[in-house]
Amino acid sequence: MSKRDFYEVLGVAKTASEKEIKKAYKKLAMKFHPDKNPDDPTAADKFKEVKAAYEILTDKEKRAAYDQFGHNAFENPGMGGGQRGGHHGFGQQGGYSDFEDIFGGAFGDMFSNARGGRGGFGGRHSTRPQKGEDLQYTMEIDLEDAINGASRVIDLPVFEGNTQTNKKLNIKIPAGIEDGGRIRLTGKGHPGINGGSQGDVYIQMNILPHPRYTREGNNLLCKATTDFVTAALGGKVEVNTLGGAISLKIPEGTQNGRKFRLKGKGVTDRKGNTGDLIVQLVIETPLNLSERQKELLNEFAAA
C-alpha cells in the first residue's frame, strides 16, 4: 500500500512553516492517540502516520530530502541514486518501515545508519544526545483550588524509559496558579535520542467559571446587592468572600454600579503578590409594593 503524502497527512501546505506543522501535529496527535480511542482499531496506525510525518517535516535536512525524493528518500539506499548494499542515503536498516516497527520506543534508533556518520547527507547528522519530546495534558480545576492550592490523583499515559504506561500521579496544584498555568513532571515524556534525557510532562490548568467571582490577574470581582433605601441613606451590606462573609459600609447616596475595593482580599499568586476584591453594588428595585408603600414613594417624589 502506498504511503500518503506527509503534507496531506498533517493537512498543511508544502510551504507550511515549522510552527504551522507543529500546531497541526499536536491537534491530530491528540485526536488519534490510542488512549483516547480505545474502541477504534485504526487510531494507532493514524497516530503513527501523523507522528512519522511530523518527525520528517520538522527536520530541515529530512524535509529537504522528502521534498526532493518523496518517501524514497527513507526507503531506498542512496535516496534512489546510491549503490545497493552501500552506505549512502538512510539505508534499509534505518528506513521508515523500521520506524513504524519501533514507534513508541527509542526514537534514537531511527535512521541509525545516517546518525552513525556513514550515510545520510555526507554524515552531517548530529549524534549528540537530544532531549525527548514533551507531553502536555489539560486539567480542569475550580477557582477555589486555583486560589488555595489542592492535590489531585490523576491517571495519565506517561513514559517509563521506552515504555508508555498509564500511571496514577499525585498532582500538587500550587496556590495562586493562573488559568493556563502549567505544572511540570520531569522525565515522564518521550524517550530521548542518542542517550538524551527523557522529555517532561506539562499539565496545563483550565480554571472553570465560578458562579460568583471573576478573576482578573490577582484581583477578584464580584457583585453585592442592596435595597434602594440603604443605598440612599447609607448602611451596611454583607459580602460573601472566599474567606468568609464580611460587612461592607455603604455611604449615603451610593449609586447603582458603584465599585468598592477591598485591599488584600484577592488572589495571592505564586510569587507572593496579592490582589484586591472589587465589589460592584447592585441596587434592587422593590416589587409588589403595597398601596401604602406606593403612597409613601409618591410623597417622597413630590417632596
Task: Give the integer Cα–Cα distance in Å for 121 and 23.
Answer: 28
Task: Give the integer Cα–Cα distance in Å for 110 and 91.
Answer: 11
**Residue 176, Ramachandran bin (φ over 0: left; ψ between -120 and 50: alpha; else beta):** left
Taking the CB of residue 54, how many other CB atoms lie within 10 A of it?
21
Task: Give the integer Cα–Cα distance in Å for 11 and 251.
Answer: 62
Residue spans of the chain under pLDDT 50: 77-123
The burial of 299, by beta-carbon neighbours within 10 Å (0-12 exposed, 13-18 middle, 19 or more buried), is given as exposed
Give residue 268's pLDDT: 95
Nearest to 96 by CA among 131, 126, 53: 53
Strand residue runs (E) in the chain: 135-141, 150-160, 163-173, 182-185, 201-207, 214-216, 219-227, 235-241, 244-250, 259-262, 277-284
Superfamily for the 1-72 domain = DnaJ domain (1.10.287.110)
Contact 86, 77 (CB under 8 A): yes
In Å, how far from its chain's centre is CA 177? 14
- Which amino acid is located at 111 in the chain? F
Task: Give the integer Cα–Cα distance in Å for 150 and 143.
Answer: 11
Quick: pLDDT tens for 223-267: 999 998 899 999 999 998 888 899 999 999 999 999 999 999 999
pTM above 0.85, yes or no: no
Give residue 2's pLDDT: 65
Give residue 7's pLDDT: 93
Looking up cell 468572600, which residue turns up? 241
Domains 135-207 and 213-284 share a fold: yes
Quick: pLDDT tens for 231-242: 999 999 999 888
Q: Where are the domains of the chain?
A: 1-72, 135-207, 213-284
**CATH architecture of residue range(s) 135-207:** Sandwich (2.60)
> Is domain 213-284 classified as CATH 2.60.260.20?
yes
H or E segment and range at residue 101: helix 96-102
